[in-house]
Structure 1
């Protein structure tokens, strides 16, 4: 019988999180941003789950901790791209999604992956939800097994947009954005995964991101939020 192994997707690895935890992540960002209770309820949809193709690593021994410490700056970032200098929310979210869906265990350690992701985050601790981002990375045991099989992935982003709930919230209270300047953007695309001996597979991806874009500053990533696809 052909074995099936889980693939690594930074945007969906936390699919098993409880609804309460997902709501709390969004509430901590959007409650400050919009002060509109209705949008929180609209952002409680589960993370998109996708059946994993045959991948090159066995099941994880344990899930990553939500209290993942910040990686050491000296660890470098391996193949993780540096954040672009983009001041437009949708464009930055699309670049961030492509980063999240791409990885290469052949030349990037887990610490380097985390360090590279951390560089995309806002430095305003009041709005940064590092746990929602670092929690997407597999635990050290799984990452090591993926590396044993040279597992890597590339991504293609097809589109990005503001969810209807976010647009409606802005229409209801346009001034609310001026406190944190955090925008909610849903991005869709495809992830191509490959490993040793020609193994591989492709999956459709969707992720909703909270990005901070203050006037006259480049955008940064604030959090990964539950999926909103409308």
Structure 2
């Protein structure tokens, strides 16, 4: 019988923001979102519709060390696409989600995966929560096991939108966005996973991203955000 290996999954590998990062980013977006984020759980995938359960559910990745979180991996980006030149938050968030849900261990090392993902981040350290993105990637041992089975995934995005809490808070205080120009966007889609000997399956995916889109600049990923009211 084909041995089943965990998949690279946003909803299952998230380690969450640190308190300081969450306050620094979410409070700068809109004060109301800070209260919302404090009362809801991180996206866990438990509420998502599941299909193709012929592969194992992902196991949590080990927490990254401080040195790994601070490092900037080199050696190219493998199959990870380069960040697009997009200035509209929802469109950028949809592209970022597709990137985060896609990988190919046949042609991409873990360091290359990290390097490719890091290129999508904002270059403003105050707002870049790299740890929330790093937490989506399996640890080196698990990545190696996945590579042994040629595990790979492609993704499609069905839609992206501003959560209602974000829209309401922005309507209540339009000037708040000008402090950091960070937008909260929820993206829904589907991930198709495959491995050796015809193994594979599919899962519905959902993720909420914090995207920075300053005027006259391309957007960049700031963090994987807390889930908020849809």
Q: Under a length normalisation based on structure 1, what TM-score does the superposition of the two structures give?
A: 0.87
Aligned with residue 26 of structure 1, among 6, 22, 26: 22
SS at structure 2 position matched to 1:159: strand
Aligned length: 222
CA contact (8 A) 2:165 2:229 kept: no
Give the Å deviation of 1:66.
5.7
Partner residue of 1:116?
116
Q: Distance in 1 between matches of 2:3 and 2:106?
A: 22
Q: How does 1:124-163 map to 2 (within 5 A)?
A: 124-163=124-163
Q: Is this contact kept in 2: 1:64–1:137, CA < 8 A?
A: no
**1:65 corresponds to which residue?**
64
The match for 1:40 is: 34
2-structure distance, mates of 1:58, 1:224? 18
1:9-34, Cα deviation, whole Å (9 max, x unpaired): 134312xx47xx57665333111222
Distance (whole Å) between structure 2 residues aligned to residue 24 and residue 216 of structure 1: 28
User: What is the CA-CA distance between 1:8 and the residue it aligns to?
Assistant: 1.7
Taking the aligned partners of 1:47 and 1:24, their CA distance within structure 2 comes to 19
Q: 1:39 and 1:56, CA in 2 relative to 1: closer, same or farther beyond 3 A?
A: closer
What's the RMSD between the two structures over aligned residues?
Answer: 2.5
Between the aligned partners of 1:6 and 1:96, the Cα distance in structure 2 is 22
Query: Could you state the TM-score of these two structures normalised by the residue count of structure 2?
Result: 0.87
Q: Does 1:175 align with 2:175?
A: yes
Is the CA contact (8 Å cut-off) linking 1:78 and 1:112 kept in structure 2? Answer: yes
Give the Cα separation in 2 of the matches to 1:25 and 1:131.
Answer: 10
Query: Contact 1:45–1:227 at 8 Å: present in 2 too?
Result: yes
Q: Is 192-201 or 21-30 further displaced after alignment?
A: 21-30
Runs of 4+ in 1 over 3 A off after TM superposition: 1-5, 21-26, 50-60
- 1:35-66 Cα distance to aligned partner (Å, 9 max, x none): x1x32232233213257944489967x61416
Gaps of 5+ in 1: none
Partner of 1:12, secondary structure, is helix
SS at match of 1:76: coil
